[in-house]
Amino acid sequence: MEKQIILEGIDPLEFYGVNNAKINLIKTFFPKIKITARGNSLFLQGEEKELRFFEKKFGFILDHYYQFNILTEEIIGQIMLNDYDGMSGGPEDEPDVLVYSNSGKPVRARTPNQRLLVEKCRDNDLIFAIGPAGTGKTYTAIAIAVKALKNREIKRIILSRPAVEAGERLGFLPGDLKEKIDPYLQPLYDALLDMIPAKKLEEFLKDGTIQIAPLAFMRGRTLSNAFVILDEAQNTTVNQLKMFLTRMGLNAKFIVTGDVTQIDLPDRNQSGLIQAMKILQNIEGISIVLFDKKDIVRHRLVRDIVEAYDLHYQAREERRAAEADKREKNAGSETVTS
């Protein structure tokens, strides 16, 4: 009999190994089957009973690769020699692991508020994750979404950002609309590329399983059976954020992330995120997780930078309050004198 197995969303060079070491190892376990690897396809020739056994074992190998984003010769040996189902006993098979990076390392919530975000996401359909840069808000949210997709809890992931200039002008950037917009969305691509092999991510982007788009592209849509993340929400206007939140359909999870100290709108008071937190905070099914500098997981200097700016802004507000109080007293004194 002859059969063909197509390796969907897999980079053959990574899967077959250096000098085809991995696929050659697999061949040694099936001497009665002729196995030919061509691109992303395996062509098999052999007796029906042997082919059925091969498909079972090779299915476990594929399951392991899709689950943990890594395949070693040791794992191949385990699957072939034992009753190993390919979906357990991974590099770090622990309950707090969200997903596995492309190097096979576990991605898990690392700080108290990251763990709180994971917990709140289990019980609520809309979560606001607010805090300074470097606290892992977006990365953790994307990891939760990728886990939900792998577990088939949802059918698609939708990631969005408002295209607001941080001191630059979008219209002066070179290229067409996509080339102008892509730099704003690059941090989302970067996070996904940490957790999903490039070939598989490309496939997801092509078939719409994962969608990355500016906020303006959300208008008029109903987002059902989806995990939706809005990043940099501090740069949405009141109407934009209301429009986004009302896109929620059936079986949908929304996470909104933002840093209210980095508002790039011309008028900071127009930030939809600040207003939404006030208006929606007491609605059941909506949760707010406030990150702080203790959650910063970037370079150690980032925490010091954030703290220095916080102290600067606090001192400035105290000076303004003192000056306003002084003006009020002076105005009162002039009234009494009159």
Average the pLDDT over 17-34 and give the result. Answer: 90
Within 10 angstroms of residue 28's Cβ, the number of other Cβ atoms is 10
CA distance 124 to 144: 13
**Where residue 334 falls among pLDDT bands split at 50, 70, 90?**
low
Query: Is residue 236 scored above 60 in pLDDT?
Result: yes
pLDDT at 168: 46
Please, are residues 98 and 108 in contact by the beta-carbon 8 Å criterion? Answer: yes
In the predicted model, what is the mean pLDDT of residues 170-190? 66
Rounded to a whole number, what is the distance in angstroms from the first to the last CA of the chain?
Answer: 107
Beta bridge partners of 201: none
Angle 221-226-230 from CA coordinates, rounded to 5°: 70
**Domain ranges within the chain, ordered by starting residue:** 2-81, 97-298, 299-338
How many DSSP H helices and E strands does the chain contain?
Answer: 11, 11
Q: Which amino acid is at 105?
A: K
pLDDT of residue 87: 46
CA-CA distance, 261 to 131, in Å (whole number)? 8
Q: What are phi and psi of 137, to 5 degrees?
A: -60, -55
- pLDDT beyond 90 at 312: no
Residue with token string 């290229």: 175
User: Containing H/E element for 252?
Assistant: strand 252-258
Q: How confident is the model at residue 167 (pLDDT cuts 50, 70, 90)?
A: very low
Under a CB-based contact definition with an 8 Å cutoff, are residues 78 and 57 in contact?
A: no
**Hey, is 330 helix, strand or coil?**
helix
Tens digits of residue pLDDT in 243-253: 999 999 999 99
CATH class of the domain whose range is 2-81: alpha beta
Alpha carbons 13 and 88: distance in angstroms, whole number? 25
Listed in sequence order, the DSSP H helices in the chain are 12-16, 21-28, 48-68, 73-81, 112-123, 137-150, 177-195, 198-207, 238-245, 272-280, 300-337
User: What is the pLDDT, as a whole number, of residue 175?
Assistant: 55
Least confident of 61-70, 136-145, 220-229: 61-70
What residues does 44 pair with on adjacent strands? 3, 35
The DSSP output letter for 242 is H
The set of residues, in sequence order, having a beta carbon less than 8 Å from that of 233 and lying 6+ positions away, is: 128, 162, 241, 256, 257, 258, 272, 273
Average pLDDT for the chain: 84
Between residues 147 and 296, which one has the greater pLDDT? Answer: 147
- The pLDDT tens digits for 127-162 are 999 998 889 999 999 999 999 998 889 999 999 988
> Quick one: how far is CA 292 from the chain centroid?
20
Q: Is the pLDDT of residue 89 over 50?
A: no
- If one compares 233 and 65, the residue with the highest pLDDT of the two is 233
Domain 97-298 -> CATH class: alpha beta
pLDDT at 83: 61
CA distance 135 to 114: 8
Q: What is the pLDDT of residues 277-293, one digit of tens each?
A: 999 989 999 999 999 88
